[in-house]
Amino acid sequence: MTQSLPPIPDARTLMAILNRYRTPSLRRSLFQLLTTAGLFTAGWIAVLLAMRVGLWAGLLVAIPTGGLTIRLFIIQHDCGHGSFFRPRWANDLVGFAIGVVTLMPYGYWRRTHAIHHKTSGDLDYRGFGDIDTLTVHEYFSRSRLGRLAYRLYRNPVVLLGLGPAYQFVLKHRLPLDAPLAWKREWTSVLLTNLALLTVVLAAWSTIGLTSFLMVQLPITLIAGSIGVFLFYVQHQFEDTYWRNHPEWDFHAAGLQGSSLLALPKVLQWFTANIGFHHIHHVNASIPNYRLPECYAKEPVFQHVTRITLWDGLKCLRLALWDEQQRKLVSFREARHRKA
């Protein structure tokens, strides 16, 4: 999948281009929010009714409803970047409300995701908002138990199954990686948990706790797996970008370390254009609905690493950064090179 990419324009040129697309449209934002929220509500009720037919029917309807959860999350994501509405209060209000649906505390996620944007591709600043990635040297420097733990973590069953379940259902109820000094972020966590408790109690007194969990858990787990997969393929591909801090460059990390995920139109809609991730990482102030416009009109953003859905599935075997070859490799490739 290694591709030869053209030189990156200077920062001033890139910003001059991207600033043309920064302004959100209130009409388009409200339309996207209301239609997505309405369809999600209809989907949630449809899953509830389908579960009465049978588990298979409920799970079938939960798939597109999980996709709508992803679309809601991308709106929350835009709010966190301050790109969905002009007023900050509007972004924060909508972002918090959606965070109750996605189980993602808005304030906590906003801060950790901002760290991800500031450090993506920097080998010396890994840890927040990333999928843990070791270099080949770091991996073989670990004990046998340490290598086993990392292999388990990078296993697709854990990465796309157990991992999302832990992240969305448990970890974000009490994110112990957040310093206590992050008072706003902890407030966001506590308020989100309080809102979730209110929702659960309301469901318990109406449709029943069992019915609520039979609907919500499949939707959450499906959305979580899709979300982690999307995040994975947007940064974890063979010719991605990792550098030590002295030679790390923000714009290079955005354009070379973030993929263009080419999806069928219906999946592009469900994922709210997040596949244009390279543009988003260079300038996160662009609303999701303006990313395709920017891509279509600006040739500089068309010559990047393009990944299809099938390519993304094949990328799941990649696990280690080879500093000599400057590419991600599989455990097998790393072992063969070491031998």
CB atoms within 10 A of CB 177: 10
Measure the N-to-C terminal CA separation of the chain; round to a whole number of Å.
24
For the sheet with 327-330, list strands across it: 134-135, 318-322, 327-330
Q: Is there a domain that residue 6 lies in?
A: no
User: What's the CA gap between 254 and 240, in Å, rounded?
Assistant: 10
Domain assignment present for residue 257? The answer is yes
Two tokens, residue 17: 């281009």
pLDDT tens for each residue of the chain, 339 residues long: 545 556 677 788 888 999 999 999 999 999 999 999 999 999 999 999 999 999 999 999 999 999 999 999 999 999 999 999 999 999 999 999 999 999 999 999 999 999 999 999 999 998 777 899 999 999 999 999 999 999 999 999 999 999 999 999 999 999 998 999 999 999 999 999 999 999 999 999 999 999 999 999 999 999 999 999 999 999 999 999 999 999 999 999 999 999 999 999 999 999 999 999 999 999 999 999 999 999 999 998 998 899 999 999 999 999 999 999 999 999 999 998 876
Angle, vertex CA 270, rays to CA 24 and CA 56, nearest 5: 150
β-pair partners for 276: 260
Domain count, the chain: 1
Per-residue tokens: 129: 């908002």
The three-point CA angle 157-311-156 to 5° equals: 5
Q: Which residues contact 258 (CB under 8 A, 6 or more apart)?
A: 120, 234, 235, 277, 278, 280, 281, 304
Does a structural domain hold residue 101? yes
DSSP secondary structure letter of residue 243: B
The verdict on residue 303 lying in a domain is yes
Q: What is the pTM of this model?
A: 0.93
Instruction: Classify residue 11: in a domain, yes or no.
Output: no
Closest among 262, 172, 271 to 223, alpha carbons compared: 271
**Distance, CA of 251 to chain centre:** 19
Q: Is residue 8 part of a domain?
A: no
Residue 9 domain flag = no
SS3 assignment, position 287: coil
- Beta strand 260-262 with 306-308 is parallel
Instruction: For residue 14, give Cα distances in angstroms to 9, 83, 165.
Output: 6, 18, 38
CB 305 within 8 A of CB 298: no
Give me the domain span that covers residue 299: 16-338
Does 5 fall in a domain?
A: no
